[in-house]
Homo-oligomer: A and B are copies of this chain.
Amino acid sequence: MESKLEELKARLREIRDLEGAAALLAWDQHTCMPAGGALARMRQIALLRRLMHERATDPGLGRLLEELRPYEESLPYDSDEASLIRVARRDYEQAVRIPSDFVARLSEHTSATFQVWREAYPAGDFARVRPYLERTLDLSRRLAGFFPGYEHIADPLIDLQDYGVRAETVRAIFAGLREQLVPLVREIIGQPPLDDACLHQFFPEQQQLAFGNEVLRCLGYDFTRGRQDKSPHPFTTSFSIGDVRITTRVAENALDEALFGSIHEAGHGMYEQGIDEKFEGTPLASGASFSVHESQSRLWENLVGRSLSFWRFFYPRLQALFPDQLGNVSLEDFYRAVNKVECSPIRVGADEVTYNLHVLMRFDFELRLLEGELSVRELPEAWNARMAEDLGIMPESDREGVLQDVHWYNGVIGGMFHGYTLGNILSAQFFEAALRAHPEITGEMEAGNFATLLHWLRESIYRHGRKYTTFELVRRVTGDELRIEPYIRYLRKKYGELYNIPDSNVNQTIA
């Protein structure tokens, strides 16, 4: 059995190393590559992905996993080896269900759709990309069809990003969340708006990057096992547990862009850096799921980075760096500025409170599109109606509406968006658990010390990598099911104070 396990590890390591190599090629494409390298680079990445796919669907791997089944069953569920075999089998079974020619067709179609979207988006021309999106919907349903026996047609698509999470479960969670968020937004909008003009002065790029760097070091992002570069769209990528890189973009007239973007990516980055080294070269060397990953980027970005405790330590430093711009802005006013709530049409620019309403809408639409209850043709109108209903605003064009996010135009419809909001919900639930275990964390944050928090997150979440699914991990870490209450409590308390919302309203909705 020993030798079979070794063979399994060798096969998985090869898949993983091809994945790491392909990821470096993609990182370079987005950060360093001169324009002239584009064509050959696409070819090189496609080749590495093909070699990965061949290995990931090799019948020999399937046989080996079957031979290892009795061994796996003899081990505790959460042992490293049982987990390795279990997760590897899950990946294999997902990969072999999807015929290779379908993979190729889907990949060709999404490339073509992306190209068309790139032109249709700035022009706000949804009609141009509509036939492509209709075919994407068709292919998304066919992709789900390779996994018969599902409860909801979105379930197999969710499984690919977030194994074991069911559409109906998410739908119920999200319905409860929306019931709380819509009135909260109304209450906030009824109050005088906060002023964020102080963020929109001139802040030279080099100084912004230097400050961000100091913040990331302080939080615990390890620059000996990662680095930060600039790219048009910020992302985190990993080539091994010892090389996890993040990117950022800087706006010299918007201090929040690079700063919170960097903390967000560093949250993803610290997760990947915190995986147990013994999982290196295996499929366990990655985050538990898209949702749990997002819970960490949002925890660091919002629950830490947008907290008053965080700024008690960092604001004097920021003021010293930008005396002309911030010398006359108080800590409290700066804290208010970085937490301004505003109903706006763009998801990625949205504040903590309204953000999830953008996501909930997309998730609902995905389910209804897949169910056949909504057509692609009806989508722009439905989008605008829902923005009016939830946020009281109307996008100026489809550029600010249905065309704004690349996801549907560069992949399948379904399986992705829910993770953004599950991530937010989990960020609060995990943070509450951390504070329960270590109430000193708040005080430490005020002293610029994030070690206890990072250590707790590493021990509870990061080191396990992909060993547990989202819900398994939540139960293990919090001793409870996934719940929206911590998140609602967090938003109500923070924004109740920021916007002077009467306590009666706050108490009314919280148990």
Contacts and interface: CB of A to CB of B under 8 A. Distances in A.
Interface string A229-258: 000000000011111000000000000000
A44 B226 contact: no
B240 A41 contact: yes
A34 B281 contact: no
A17 B37 contact: no
Contact of A34 (B39, B48, B51, B225): B225
A147 B21 CA distance: 35
Contact of A225 (B37, B41, B223, B242): B37
A243 B25 CA distance: 12
Interface residues of A, number: 37
A29 to B, nearest CB: 10
A14 interface: yes
A224 interface: yes
Nearest to A51: B51
Which of A24, A48, A227, A241 is most buried by chain B, counting CB atoms within 10 A of its CB? A24
Contacts of A225: 34-37
Given A41-B239, A44-B20, A51-B51, A227 B32 contact: yes
Given A17-B47, A21-B21, A224 B41 contact: no
B227 A40 contact: no
Which of A39, A222, A226, A281 is most buried by chain B, counting CB atoms within 10 A of its CB? A39
Given A21-B48, A47-B17, A223-B34, A41 B243 contact: yes
B38 A242 contact: yes
Interface in A15-29: 17-18, 20-21, 24-25, 28
B243 A14 contact: no
A96 B51 CA distance: 23
Contacts of A44: 17, 20-21, 24, 239-240
A33 interface: yes
B37 A281 contact: no
Contacts of A243: 33-34, 36-37, 40-41
A32 B239 CA distance: 13
B24 A40 contact: no
A386 interface: no
Contacts of A280: 40
Contacts of A35: 224-225, 242
A213 B62 CA distance: 54
Contacts of A36: 222, 224-226, 240-243
27 contacts: A13-B43, A17-B40, A17-B44, A17-B47, A18-B47, A21-B25, A24-B44, A33-B243, A34-B224, A34-B225, A34-B226, A34-B227, A34-B242, A35-B224, A35-B225, A35-B242, A36-B224, A37-B239, A37-B240, A39-B242, A40-B239, A40-B240, A40-B242, A40-B280, A41-B240, A44-B239, A44-B240
